[in-house]
Structure 1
Amino acid sequence: MIRKRRGRSTITNVGTLKQIHALMIVNGLTSNVGFLRKLVLTTAMSMVGPNATSAVIRYALQMFAQIPQPDTFMWNTYIRGSSQSHDPVHAVALYAQMDQRSVKPDNFTFPFVLKACTKLFWVNTGSAVHGRVLRLGFGSNVVVRNTLLVFHAKCGDLKVATDIFDDSDKGDVVAWSALIAGYAQRGDLSVARKLFDEMPKRDLVSWNVMITVYTKHGEMESARRLFDEAPMKDIVSWNALIGGYVLRNLNREALELFDEMCGVGECPDEVTMLSLLSACADLGDLESGEKVHAKIIEMNKGKLSTLLGNALVDMYAKCGNIGKAVRVFWLIRDKDVVSWNSVISGLAFHGHAEESLGLFREMKMTKVCPDEVTFVGVLAACSHAGNVDEGNRYFHLMKNKYKIEPTIRHCGCVVDMLGRAGLLKEAFNFIASMKIEPNAIVWRSLLGACKVHGDVELAKRANEQLLRMRGDQSGDYVLLSNVYASQGEWDGAENVRKLMDDNGVTKNRGSSFVEAFS
């Protein structure tokens, strides 16, 4: 399949690549330089973007390997495509092959290789590339110099970055922004701000860099002040501040800023909507979530990307409307493991256990492979449905077929499942056999099951473990006291209350939350 991307054709599957490759061989075009250059441009672009699968990248590289004598332009094009792909290691490998074949790099080669080293955080390799840049005399090239500055500022030597900056044109906004970001990333906000204030001229990028710096370090008041002072703003400015609010759990502020954004006529993008859906999910604000959903439909003319679809499913599930979560799930065209996990877990935790397990069975018939999050939802569904045999079967399936090591969440689900079914000794034995240390949630789950099923002896053993971990939690004492009381053992209940007093543990007063509407 071939798609248009910014005026260029982009190949999105291996089959199309193979067809082009076959036509090239059949028509004897492997030695036509003009054709090869067009082919290289097209296939290199196929390595970039969300549709660039590992198979597409691998086959594109195989095609390049069969070109007898690629020129510098062809090497650079493929190195650029690799550096922009999700696996930039290929860019460095191609650069090494280029050197082995005695093809001399130029000023276009080094920026792409350095970008790959920066993405990979390969400090030694990037430093070696820097040495070669100097030997070949490209250190004065503005683009090469700025890419070196970015590399050293982000993952290399900050002193070297500063030296490069000192030797650069002080009117170069890119150099200033790179150094500011470097100091900020290392946690030195005061130097970053000093550099920002000293800039002879600032463009939109420099303002956005500094706003993002503050949001990433949780300095939301400073970020907001700078945002308000900025003479110009774009979608990046708004997204930086909205995303910062959401990251710091200031979700109401994020929603208010979105209203402000719409009020000034700025159009949101997918990044904006993902942040807002996260805010709505954390707040449990269904009304705001539905407004965001309506805006997404308006923006995308009914089409739904996988990322936005997943975020909507998660939001509706967390806001309590599992019916809408399921409906959105079925609208997602390219469902990934996150799509399935969101709806399986959402159904499970809303008490729709059979529907959750039914969807898991459907998932197994697709090409999407379940992961550890999937099995948390599946085991929770088995627990809520009382399907102990099925739950045990899935627990072993997870370990044996999918080679997923159980986490504390999986083990907690199994303990909860056995406890709900009244299989308290089995639950206790399961905890004893766990390879990982049980946490307080696991023991509290067993203690709660002991209360439901009236097993005082196991309740005492579970409570002993809890008190070793956290002796100051009043709820654990109260739960054990209630176990005694439910069996009419009032002396035991009184002894627990006395133990609370002796240990200085006080029961928290009950409280409720009321939201007032004017």
Structure 2
Amino acid sequence: MIRKRTNDRSSNRQQRSSLWRNCTDLHALKQIQASLVVRGFNSNRAALRELVFAGAIAVSGTIGYTLRVFAQIAEPDLFMWNTVIRGAAQSLNPSNAVRLYSQMESRFVRPDDFTFPFVLKACTKLSWVKMGFGIHGRIIKFGFESNTFVRNTLIYFHANRGELGIARHYFEGSAKRDVVAWSALTAGYARRGELLVARQLFDEMPVKDLVSWNVMITGYAKRGEMESARKLFDQAPEKDVVTWNAMIAGFVLCGGNEQALEMFKEMRRVGEKPDEVTMLSLLSACAEMGDLEIGQRMHHSLSELCLGDLGVLLENALIDMYAKCGSIERAFAVFKGMKEKDISTWNSIIGGLAFHGHAEKSIDLFREMQRLEIKPNEITMVGVLVACSHAGKVEEGHQYFNMMQDRYGIEPNTRHCGCMVDMLGRAGLLEEAFEFIQSMEIAPNAIIWRTLLGACRVHGNVELGKLANEKLLFMRHDQSGDYVLLSNLYAFKGEWDGVEKVRKSMGDRGVRKEAGYSLAEGDGKSLMYYLFDSKPKLSSRDKAYGVLTKG
């Protein structure tokens, strides 16, 4: 039996030794698929194996295409099942791996020791504890519990879920001589945030492989301990794309977007090729920075890096980046050019259009969603309600708010309610906005009361503004903007005694008005112009220019 498995694996390697090496992008994969279709798609099993291997493993970002091709294969063999499950488990949507395993079982295809590690890794990524325990039961049933690869994945799964007794059980004994087992247990502790224990295991490892270095670097990065992560990164004897991704993602998570971009430059200098995960982190950094120029460069890099068909996740990230950088036209162009769209795609463009004042276009796209029978979620409805608010479509906003609950079963949250208050406030329907707040099934938060206060300032309703301010002060006392809004409302109505009372209240509570400023860029530097009082102390040189330089 062992000899047969060895021969099968050797044969598989020979079968995929030529064709898949020529596949560098989605276009090449489609050419191979086309040639197979002409000759009889299911007639050449060896070529099908190569095509599945190339699409699922060898070519980055093509798992979606591979899943569609795989669905057309009449009778996939075990190698094909394992390959596509492996590719799905390693993708950004690992639930496909579990779905494929279920299909495999329903077709009475007997799994082997290669099948279970990938399915169990997918369960770990998804935090599907019940499913993972079910897979553990199947492993015991099929007798693979003592297999080295399966055992190490069990250690990783149970350690991640906090079942450290079970993880330790599989780690003790012969596993202690296996560097992969050490890495699996260390990763489990690190992912649970128990970095002290993870670091102790890491330091005790008889041999450290690249995975173990990546585990610790990722653990520190996810906790925001970038100084420790960087120290280990510099000490690591070798690095791969996972190592670089951990650092880049860690900086983005901590708000160090410029440092993330510097890491990317360093990554390119040493010749490491980024992947889909890298670019998702970088696009997120550009979106947070609002830097359109760098975002466009990243978009251009995606083509240069030969990532082929970008896929839904990257294209969604591009829409989000362009929208947040103020280029809704480019965001819409990406949307229009997408071959596939998911709910996040629609949410990004509907929300982006709404926030940029293209309310009619945003609502039209929501109607298109309805026509295509794509079910919206709570994020979709926030975008739609924002669009109605900005367009002054009060009646239509009420209709969508009711539709959200009655047709789609989406319970309103504070964001939906805040949109309704904003919509009514913008329209000058302040009493109706107050009644809406009073009728809410969830407790209004400070943002909702401040939204009402802002509307009262615009429309000059002092009495309701005072009430909203009282509610705000009951929740928080230290936000200078709340006082300023009420003070401006009094000033707008010429009630200077009220202005003085607000200022005195601020002084009594030790609240200082934050300095107002605007930002501009020049000669590669960020220039911060202070508009109001409470200015910071500036050097004589800065005072001469009237700016605070940074960078």
Return the letter of the residue paired with 1:486: F
Counting matched residue pairs gives 479
Deviations along 1:186-234, one digit per CA (max 9) or x if unpaired, are: 3332332233233333333232222222212222122212222222222
Residues of 1 paired with 2:273 and 2:85: CA distance? 32
Q: Does 1:209 align with 2:218?
A: no
* 1:86 aligned partner: 95
Q: Does 1:449 align with 2:420?
A: no
Deviations along 1:376-409, one digit per CA (max 9) or x if unpaired, are: 1121111112121222222222222222221111
Residues of 2 paired with 1:43 and 1:316: CA distance? 34
* 2:129 aligned partner: 121
Deviations along 1:217-266, one digit per CA (max 9) or x if unpaired, are: 22212221222222222211111111111112111110001111111222
Of the structure 1 ranges 373-382 and 89-98, higher mean CA displacement relative to structure 2 is found in 89-98
Q: Does 1:358 align with 2:367?
A: no
Write the mapping of 1:19-168 to structure 2, written as runs, cut at 5 A.
Answer: 49-50=63-64, 84=89, 86=95, 111=117, 118=124, 120-122=128-130, 125=134, 140-155=146-161, 157-168=163-174
* 2:493 aligned partner: 487
Return the letter of the residue paired with 1:141: N
CA contact (8 A) 1:114 1:129 kept: no
Residues of 2 paired with 1:7 and 1:291: CA distance? 28
TM-score (norm 1): 0.79
Return the letter of the residue paired with 2:492: S
Q: 1:504 to 1:169 in 2, by over 3 A?
A: closer
Write the mapping of 1:103-502 to structure 2, written as runs, cut at 5 A.
Answer: 111=117, 118=124, 120-122=128-130, 125=134, 140-155=146-161, 157-168=163-174, 170-300=176-306, 303-502=309-508
CA contact (8 A) 1:171 1:201 kept: no
CA contact (8 A) 1:126 1:151 kept: no
Of the structure 1 ranges 162-171 and 367-376, higher mean CA displacement relative to structure 2 is found in 162-171
Residues of 2 paired with 1:35 and 1:330: CA distance? 37
Deviations along 1:85-135, one digit per CA (max 9) or x if unpaired, are: 62666689799999xx9x9987567656755765622375466567667xx
Residues of 1 paired with 2:424 and 2:119: CA distance? 55
Deviations along 1:304-330, one digit per CA (max 9) or x if unpaired, are: 422111111111111112222222221
Q: 1:6 to 1:41 in 2, by over 3 A?
A: closer
Secondary structure of the residue aligned to 2:286 is helix
Residues of 2 paired with 1:37 and 1:227: CA distance? 41
Q: 1:455 to 1:129 in 2, by over 3 A?
A: same
Q: 1:310 to 1:94 in 2, by over 3 A?
A: closer
Q: 1:304 to 1:204 in 2, by over 3 A?
A: same
Deviation at 1:498, TM superposition (A): 2.8
CA contact (8 A) 1:440 1:469 kept: yes
Q: 1:307 to 1:460 in 2, by over 3 A?
A: same
Deviation at 1:425, TM superposition (A): 1.0
Deviations along 1:116-174, one digit per CA (max 9) or x if unpaired, are: 765622375466567667xx6x5543233323323332236323433433312554221
CA contact (8 A) 1:383 1:414 kept: yes
Deviation at 1:477, TM superposition (A): 2.0
Of the structure 1 ranges 155-164 and 115-124, higher mean CA displacement relative to structure 2 is found in 115-124
% same residue: 56
CA contact (8 A) 2:179 2:209 kept: yes
CA contact (8 A) 1:317 1:325 kept: yes
Deviations along 1:327-354, one digit per CA (max 9) or x if unpaired, are: 2221212122222221221121122222
CA contact (8 A) 1:304 1:331 kept: no
State the superposition RMSD in angstroms: 4.1
Residues of 2 paired with 1:495 and 1:174: CA distance? 68
Q: 1:219 to 1:366 in 2, by over 3 A?
A: same
Of the structure 1 ranges 499-508 and 479-488, higher mean CA displacement relative to structure 2 is found in 499-508
Secondary structure of the residue aligned to 2:156 is helix
Deviation at 1:5, TM superposition (A): 8.8
CA contact (8 A) 1:37 1:74 kept: no
Q: 1:237 to 1:490 in 2, by over 3 A?
A: same
Deviation at 1:289, TM superposition (A): 0.7
Return the letter of the residue paired with 1:121: V
The gaps in structure 1 that reach 5 residues or longer are 9-22, 24-33, 65-72
Deviations along 1:474-511, one digit per CA (max 9) or x if unpaired, are: 22222122212211222232233333333343323334
CA contact (8 A) 2:123 2:129 kept: yes
Deviations along 1:276-318, one digit per CA (max 9) or x if unpaired, are: 0000111111111111011112234884422111111111111
Residues of 1 paired with 2:309 and 2:53: CA distance? 28
CA contact (8 A) 1:45 1:81 kept: no
Q: 1:190 to 1:51 in 2, by over 3 A?
A: same
TM-score (norm 2): 0.74
Q: 1:371 to 1:94 in 2, by over 3 A?
A: closer
Return the letter of the residue paired with 2:499: A
Residues of 2 paired with 1:115 and 1:380: CA distance? 40
CA contact (8 A) 1:92 1:116 kept: no
Q: 1:6 to 1:416 in 2, by over 3 A?
A: farther
Return the letter of the residue paired with 2:480: S
CA contact (8 A) 2:116 2:135 kept: no
Secondary structure of the residue aligned to 1:396 is helix
Residues of 1 paired with 2:449 and 2:381: CA distance? 21
CA contact (8 A) 1:75 1:94 kept: no
Return the letter of the residue paired with 1:286: L
Residues of 1 paired with 2:325 and 2:82: CA distance? 46
The gaps in structure 2 that reach 5 residues or longer are 1-18, 24-39, 58-62, 525-551
Residues of 1 paired with 2:111 and 2:347: CA distance? 47
Deviation at 1:178, TM superposition (A): 0.7
